[in-house]
C-alpha cells in the first residue's frame, strides 16, 4: 500500500501510482458522501466493487450497482454517496498530469472543508 487516509466520509488507499495514472480503493461509509467537486488536472474512472452507489455527475444523480462503472472528465462536477443501508467500495483510476489532493475544487461539502 502506497498511502492510506481516513476521512470523515470513509477512507482511501492508493494501490498504484505512476506519472501517468493513479489507482485508489475508496470506501464510503453508509449514509456518507464525498464533497461535490471538480479537478483541473485529472479525469477519473470509477468501478463499483460494492454497491449500490449514488453518483452525481454535473447535477444528474443516478444509482450504480456492483460491477457498473462511470467516467468523469476533467473539470466535470462529481460526487459519490453511499445510501444509509450499505457502505460503498469503488476503484478510482485517475489519469492526467497531476494527482495530488490539492487538485480538488469543492463546490459543496458536508464537513465544512474548502
Average pLDDT on 5-23 reads 97
Asked if residue 45 belongs to a domain, the reply is yes
State residue 98's pLDDT score. Answer: 96
Q: Domain total for the chain?
A: 1
DSSP 71-99: EE-TT--EEEE--TT--EEEEEEEEES--
Q: Which residues touch 96 (CB under 8 Å, ≥6 apart)?
A: 39, 41, 42, 43, 74
How far, in Å, CA of 40 to CA of 30, rounded?
A: 29
Q: Which domain holds residue 60?
A: 3-108
| 114 found inside a domain | no
**pLDDT over 70 at 37, yes or no:** yes
Please report whether residue 68 resides in a domain. Answer: yes
φ/ψ (deg, to 5) at 96: 150, -150
64 within domain boundaries: yes
Residue range 55-83: mean pLDDT, rounded = 98
**Cell (9 digits) for 74:** 476533467
86: confidence class by pLDDT, cuts 50, 70, 90: very high
| Cis peptide bond prior to 55, omega within 30° of 0 | no
Neighbour count for residue 93 (Cβ, 10 Å): 17
Q: Taking 80 as the threshold, does the pLDDT of residue 1 lie above it? A: no
25 in any annotated domain: yes
Q: Quote the pLDDT of residue 88.
A: 98
The domain spanning residue 80 has which CATH number?
2.60.120.10
Query: Quick check: is 113 in a domain?
Result: no
**Calpha distance 39→71 (Å, rounded):** 13
Amino acid at each position: 500500500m502506497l498511502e492510506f487516509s481516513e476521512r470523515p466520509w470513509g477512507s482511501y488507499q492508493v494501490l498504484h501510482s505512476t506519472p501517468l495514472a493513479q489507482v485508489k480503493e475508496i470506501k464510503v461509509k453508509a449514509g456518507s458522501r464525498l464533497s461535490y467537486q471538480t479537478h483541473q488536472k485529472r479525469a477519473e474512472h470509477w468501478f463499483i466493487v460494492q454497491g449500490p452507489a449514488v453518483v452525481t455527475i454535473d447535477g444528474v444523480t443516478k444509482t450504480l450497482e456492483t460491477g457498473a462503472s462511470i467516467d468523469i472528465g476533467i473539470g466535470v462536477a462529481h460526487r459519490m454517496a453511499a445510501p444509509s443501508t450499505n457502505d460503498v467500495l469503488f476503484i478510482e483510476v485517475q489519469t492526467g498530469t497531476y494527482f495530488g489532493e490539492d487538485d480538488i475544487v469543492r463546490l459543496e461539502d458536508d464537513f465544512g472543508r474548502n
